[in-house]
Amino acid sequence: MGRLACLLTLLVALLAGAVGGCSKGESSAVGDAGVPVDPVLLAFLSRARSAHHIADQHEEAGRLEQAVDPLQRLVDGPVPGGNALSAPAEVREVMADTLARLADLKSQLGRQDAALQDVERGLQLAKETTYFRGHLFEIRGLVEERLAKSLEAKGEKAAAEEAKKRALDAAEKSMAIQAEVIEKATAPGAGR
């Protein structure tokens, strides 16, 4: 099971556990702590988990193009609140991570421009200094590396060198973001 699938399973289980104490006649679920559970958020997380499961199956079988399809439908489909940019943090994180996976898959398929567009779309959702933002820069670096190799193969040496530079810059940015995430999490008084 992939990292995102594990996260989604945990989120759904936690939210579903909060729903467990509700009687059948209630119109909105309220967990044991008295916090409302959003059934639309649950539906989105379940949909995301299913999309990633389908993609996993296709990817394991070497069918990368088919792995792209369910993930693309997820990121282009409905989200809680109707707008990904204003959706809850959990939704934005799932969307950003899904876009990173899409970018990696599309890049492996040689679709570097589409991959970079997915990275940019993900960065619009992951604006805070989080693992998800750092991961998007990591994927940007991988996409730029693949682009550099394809440009070299075509004899476009100057363009390949520029892509290599962008790849290194993206990897450095990823490292800096992830270092900041770690430092914040391990600082005295951080709520771990």
Each residue's pLDDT tens digit, 88-122 = 999 999 999 999 999 999 999 999 999 999 999 99
What CA–CA distance (Å, rounded) separates 159 from 141? 15
The DSSP H or E segment spanning 29 is strand 29-30
Angle between helices 131-153 and 112-125 (to 10 degrees): 160
Q: Which 3 state secondary structure label does DSSP give 37? A: strand
The residue assigned the tokens 């960065």 is: 123
Query: Can you give the pLDDT at residue 38?
Result: 87
DSSP string, 39-61: HHHHHHHHHHHHHHHHHHHHHHT
- Domain range 3-15+38-183, CATH class: mainly alpha
Query: Can you give the pLDDT at residue 6?
Result: 47
Among 35, 33, 42, smallest CA distance to 13 is for 42
Q: What is the pLDDT of residues 36-56, one digit of tens each?
A: 678 999 999 999 999 999 999
pTM of the full structure? 0.82
Instruction: Quickly state the pLDDT bin for 191 (edges 50, 70, 90).
Output: low
Dihedral class, residue 181 (left if φ above 0, else alpha if ψ from -120 to 50, else beta):
alpha
Q: Which 3 state secondary structure label does DSSP give 106? A: helix
